[in-house]
Structure 1
Amino acid sequence: MPLMSNSPPSDLAIEGQFYSGDNSFRQDALLRSVGGELVLVTESLQQRLSLQELTISPRVGNTPRYLHLPDDGVFETTDNDRVDQLGRGAATGRLSRLLHRLENHLALILTAVVVTIAVTAFAFVYGVPWTAKAIAYALPDSIAEQVGESTLASLDGTWLEPSELSDTRQESLQRHFEPFLAPVGGQELNVLFRSAPAIGANALALPNGSLIFTDELVELAETDDELVAILAHEIGHVEHRHGMQGMVQSSLTFWLIVMMTGDLSAFSDTTVVVPAVLMSLSYSRTMERQADQYALETLLRHDLDPGHFANIMGRLAASAHDGRDDAEEDVEEDSRWSRLGDLLSSHPVTEERIQRFRDAASR
């Protein structure tokens, strides 16, 4: 950025190196002010310059400064103070000195660090979920259909197997579910049954409105109304477009971290991956609470006992606990790992969810 001063300060001498621009050869040089003009002196050159012909790089800490000369010449020096004197009085020179003072102001540096952390935290905790929700609702239903179909095909090829429930049992459940299967969120609802020995008792909601019940969950239920309670929870995921939100949030979290680190390979670093995973799980816990609320309202609207949800959730928690290898460990150690499991779980604490529905049932 060219300087606008009329003349350089008198009796100024700056030592440095000169590059002619014709080659990479470096020459020791001296830049002096003589009679209101600048003179660049090397072993083989003596060149008169005006201040207006120079472009001085801004000061960044104590890094070398570059004075760009006519005909692509460059004068390099570490004498930052004298370069500042050379540019004193010019508007760009004042700006450069101001930036340098800001860079060395400890209070401002600490303030900038705090603000950066606060903005980053706000972006992850509030910005990403809000943006993901807006995008999820803005996407056309055809996208949700494609995502749901591809997800189902992938699950059928890996974790899920054809249902072993009898046709009569499946038809009975379909009739029992029918009053609850009105379209929601622009999506038609469709209940599917699958066997899933590797997953166990579970239910899944896909973005296209497909609701998957495993045979193991059907066998765990003592009444069909307990399965209705689970069905209402899964419909809540479809209503709130949680499947699409989760997909968008994962992508936004990934790219936000990549933008912060400036390197795709940095995402393989555990110091980056672990916070991202925990943040994504936190998002899932929020979605699970929304789905629980939807289920509770649905059960009450259809005059069904909310205790059905509490009962089957308690049975699910008990069956999961019975499968742990560390069941014989002492209570304190089990409690410690349980708290860690709650942190890493994508669902809210099971006891909290069960108690919520039991309280509703008692009212």
Structure 2
Amino acid sequence: MIVSGICYLPRSSKRQNASIQFLPSDRIRLVSEQEQHEWLLSELTLSEPLGSVPRKVIFPDGTQFIADDQRVLDGWLWSGKGSWLNRVEQNTPMIAASLAAIVVVCVLLFSHGVPWLTGALVRVMPEQVSHAVGEHVLATLDDHLLEPTALSRSQQVAINTRFEQVVIALPSLSVQPRLIFRRWGNGPNAIALSDGTVIVFDSLVELAETPEQLDSVILHELGHIQHQHVMKSLVRSTLLSAAVAVMTGESTGLIDVFSGVGVFLVTQGYSRDAEEEADQFAAEQMLHLHGSVAPMQQMYELLKATAGEGDLPQWLSTHPKLEERIKVIAQ
């Protein structure tokens, strides 16, 4: 049996016509344009099959042989070990199916695996972490976005006293909340931080017509604290950043991401599910405290009217739409 092809002699890039001949006693003869040699089959090395890349027969002296007909060579030299991988590499439908499977796994990982892992990590995370992140985010907001409150001391004391009474009447929260006041030129607003801080802006206090209406917004923010939405979003974003870093090899800046995302969240809003959970918490507590969700509906209507033709306040800009939220509260 003779198989024709080409060969490259040791320490040479010159291509030569050659052939190999299979001999008795498991021996093989290589015949090139310059010389010929014989070896035992056990002395040869075969390169691993890789898609359509030609396989090489490597002889003990370093000579490399590439057959014109790879199938004939495989039939004589390749015992079948690992041949399934070669078939997969050359099987387009199987490659497509493998890619589809990878996509499905990735989707399931990010849609179910990451949320589950996020919840598990937040539950076991030391309380010091949420406090450190909350303090850092507040410092960043104070440095770049917020201004000291213009509310009178008596206004602050009155609202804080009411806030403390509301907190006492609530189920035990995941962290001990506190209320502070700031000014922000981005419309009536209130935001919650991971350490339990609720920031109420002067414009929201001025917009609320009754204490109960202001309670409804504060309760919404306490809902974010109760469900740990800030820390969950931070951990989820960090996990996603870490996953991207692993896939791309770029691992710098993960610490900055962890705290930086906190600033983004409190200024851009939460996910639809998080907003719905916070709304549900606020509605339930409004019924418990005041026997009605009407003040909450009224407050949302005031916020909607304040937005006018422009954008809604940032904390209300995320899905679901404000009209939907009002309808849900009314049910």
Please give the range of the TM-score, normalised by the shorter of the 2 chains: 0.7 to 0.9
Write the distance in 2 (CA, Å) between the matches of 1:78 and 1:195. 79
- Which position in structure 2 is the counterpart of 1:137? 123
List per-residue Cα deviations over 1:16-73 (Å, max 9, x = no partner): 33252xx463442433323331223334553322222233233232112233443555
Distance 1:66 1:85 in 2: 14
Q: Distance in 2 between matches of 1:138 and 1:345?
A: 31
Instruction: State the number of aligned residues.
Output: 310
1:253 aligns with 2:243: no
Contact 2:188 2:201 (8 Å CA) reproduced: yes
State yes or no: 1:174 paired with 2:164. Answer: no
Compute the displacement of 1:215 (Å): 0.7
* Distance change (3 Å), C-alpha of 1:185 and 1:87: farther
Q: What SS class does the counterpart of residue 38 from structure 1 fall into? A: strand
Contact residue 14 and residue 77 of structure 1 kept, 8 A = yes
Provide the rounded CA distance (Å) in 1 between the counterparts of 2:328 and 2:274.
16
Residue in 1 aligned with 2:285? 298
CA RMSD of aligned residues (A): 3.0
**2:4/2:68 contact within 8 Å kept:** no
Deviation by residue 1:301-349 (Cα, 9 ceiling, x = unmatched):
223421222211222122223335xxxxxxxxxxxxx9xxxxx953322
Judging changes above 3 Å, is the alpha-carbon distance between structure 1 residues 43 and 105 closer, same or farther for their aligned structure 2 residues? Answer: closer
Is the 1:27–1:42 Cα contact (8 Å) retained in structure 2?
no
Change (3 A) 1:122 1:321: farther
Q: Which residue of 2 aligns with 1:117?
A: 103
Q: Distance in 2 between matches of 1:15 and 1:37?
A: 18
Q: Secondary structure at the match of 1:181?
A: helix
SS of residue matched to 2:56 = strand
Q: Tell me the distance in 2 between the aligned counterparts of 1:39 and 1:298.
A: 89
Distance 2:58 2:282 in 1: 70
Secondary structure at the counterpart of residue 271 of structure 2 = helix
Moved more, 79-88 or 201-210: 79-88
What letter matches 1:246 in structure 2? Answer: S
- Matched AA of 1:206: L
Bigger mean CA offset, 223-232 vs 345-354: 345-354
Determine if the alignment matches structure 1 residue 348 to structure 2 residue 300.
no
Mapped pair 1:81 → 2:71: yes
Aligned twin of 1:312: 299
In 2, the alpha carbon distance for the partners of 1:111 and 1:234 equals 46
The question of whether the paired residues in 1 share the 8 Å contact of 2:2 and 2:19 is answered with: no
Deviates more, 1:186-195 or 1:107-116: 107-116
2:55 is aligned with 1:65: yes
Q: Is the 8 A contact 1:13 1:31 kept in 2?
A: yes
> Of residues 192, 213, 227 in structure 2, which corresponds to 1:240?
227
TM-score w.r.t. structure 1 length?
0.76
Inter-partner Cα distance in structure 2 for 1:164 and 1:63: 74
Measure how far apart 1:126 and its partner are: 1.8
Counting only pairs closer than 5 Å after superposition, residues 217-232 of structure 1 correspond to structure 2 as: 217-232=204-219
Partner of 1:195: 183
Shift of 1:135: 1.6
Aligned partner of residue 302 in structure 1, secondary structure: helix
In the TM superposition, what is the alpha-carbon distance from 1:264 to its structure 2 partner? 5.0
Following the alignment from structure 1 to structure 2, what is the Cα–Cα distance between the partners of residues 319 and 78?
78
- The structure-2 alpha-carbon separation of the partners of 1:217 and 1:33, relative to structure 1 and needing over 3 Å to count, comes to same
> C-alpha separation between the residues in 2 aligned to 1:207 and 1:282?
14
Describe the shift of the 1:187–1:77 C-alpha distance in structure 2 as closer, same or farther (beyond 3 A). farther
Distance, in Å, in 2 between the alignment partners of 1:282 and 1:231 is 15
C-alpha separation between the residues in 2 aligned to 1:296 and 1:165? 27
Counterparts of 1:295 and 1:65, CA distance in 2: 68
2:315 is the alignment partner of 1:358: no
Question: Equivalent residue for 1:209?
Answer: 196
Cα distance per residue 1:225-277 (max 9 Å; x no partner): 111111111111111111111112222233434555x4659xxxxxxxxxxx9
Matched letter for residue 225 of structure 1: E
CA distance in 2, matches of 1:41, 1:125: 60
Contact 2:219-2:285 at 8 Å conserved across structures: yes
| Partner amino acid, structure 1, of 2:216 | A
Which runs of 5 or more structure 1 residues have no equivalent in the other structure?
1-10, 266-276, 325-337, 339-343
The alpha carbon displacement at 1:221 in A equals 0.9
1:84 and 1:170 map into 2 onto residues whose CA distance is 85
TM-score, with normalisation over the residues of structure 2? 0.82
Q: 2:175 aligns to what SS in structure 1?
A: coil
> Which structure 2 segments of 5+ residues have no match?
252-263
Would the aligned equivalents of 2:286 and 2:292 in 1 still touch at CA under 8 Å?
yes
